[in-house]
Amino acid sequence: MSGTIRESFVNFCKRQQAGLLLVGEIQKQEQKDQEALLDAQEKRFERKYNLFYENLDLIMRHKDEIIATPRYANIDAHYLLEGGGCYVGRLATSRQINIAGTLITFNLKLGTLLKIWETGQFRIACRCGDTAVIRRFVGTPLSGGSVASAICPKCKAEIHVKNRSFGKYHFFAAGKLNEDIEMVVKNLIAKWTIAETEQQKKVAEGNWRDPKIASDLAGDGEICNLETLLQELWQKELEEAIKA
């Protein structure tokens, strides 16, 4: 059973004079550094958010290609969809899990977001003739009421949407993040199984010293970010325009 450790004022002054930092002061510095990192990250996500929706028409033109290309589909998109409600809190589009002392982050993927936008709950007709997509919503699970905001890829109009089921927004989107987590974990298990098979081959050949399964664990290759995706899509459309 843990208890509070107390010290006399005299000892406290001696420790301060000796230049020994209090644990609380060390913790405060770490908290300050973490807050600075979070602030920088928020500004980065805000820039990406604006960049994405400014180019939403480009994204939607290549929607099927993005979904079908793992390098594109796996791009982090957790900051592109916002939601929340009474009693259920903010929509979780990012989750961190502590596994054996290692903090693993699972984010909603771009391919998954585009699939969410294929459902009628997250779409609405725009006066320009195109289809707008929901990018934020709030509501309550008690009455089921909600208000949402959609953006049109073509004319960039902001459309306010009312009287749609809050549950079909919140729990459907939350379920999609769970599917992304499941997909990542299954992918890791599959790769570990392959690495385990390779390790067993090396052991059987007898020419591998102290073999470890982790040494044969392979990833999915280079990670693609939003900026690279946009650049490649612009380049592709430019090349197609020149050919035409």
Distance CA 179, CA 150 (A): 24
- The predicted model scores a pTM of 0.83
Q: pLDDT category, 238, cuts 50, 70, 90?
A: very high
What is the per-residue pLDDT for 28? 80
Q: Tokens standing for 17? A: 């004079």
Distance CA 176, CA 173 (A): 5
3-class state of residue 210 by DSSP: coil
Q: pLDDT category, 1, cuts 50, 70, 90?
A: very low
Helices 226-243/23-54 angle, 10° precision: 20
CA atoms within 13 A on the CB side of 47: 8
Burial (0-12, 13-18, 19+ Cβ within 10 Å), 124: middle
- In sequence order, the 6+-apart residues with CB closer than 8 A to the CB of 134 are 117, 121, 122, 123, 124, 148, 149, 150, 161, 169
Dihedral sign, Cα of residue 23, residue 26, residue 30, residue 32: positive
3-class state of residue 129 by DSSP: coil
Distance CA 220, CA 194 (A): 13
Name the one residue in this structure whose structure tokens are 């459902």. 119
In tens, the pLDDT along 7-58 reads 676 776 776 676 665 556 777 888 888 888 888 989 999 999 999 999 999 9
Task: State which amino acid sits at residue 237.
Answer: E
Average pLDDT over residues 196-213: 77
* Residue 4 pLDDT greater than 70, yes or no: no
DSSP 8-state symbol, 224 = P
What is the per-residue pLDDT for 227? 97
Q: What percent of the chain stands above pLDDT 90?
A: 65
What is the per-residue pLDDT for 26? 74
In tens, the pLDDT along 81-140 reads 999 998 889 999 999 999 999 999 999 999 999 999 999 999 999 999 999 999 999 999
- Which has the higher per-residue pLDDT, 62 or 34? 62
Distance CA 60, CA 55 (A): 9
Terminal-residue alpha carbon distance, the chain: 76
Q: What percent of the chain stands above pLDDT 70?
A: 91
What is the per-residue pLDDT for 15? 67
Q: pLDDT category, 2, cuts 50, 70, 90?
A: very low
Average pLDDT over residues 209-225: 81
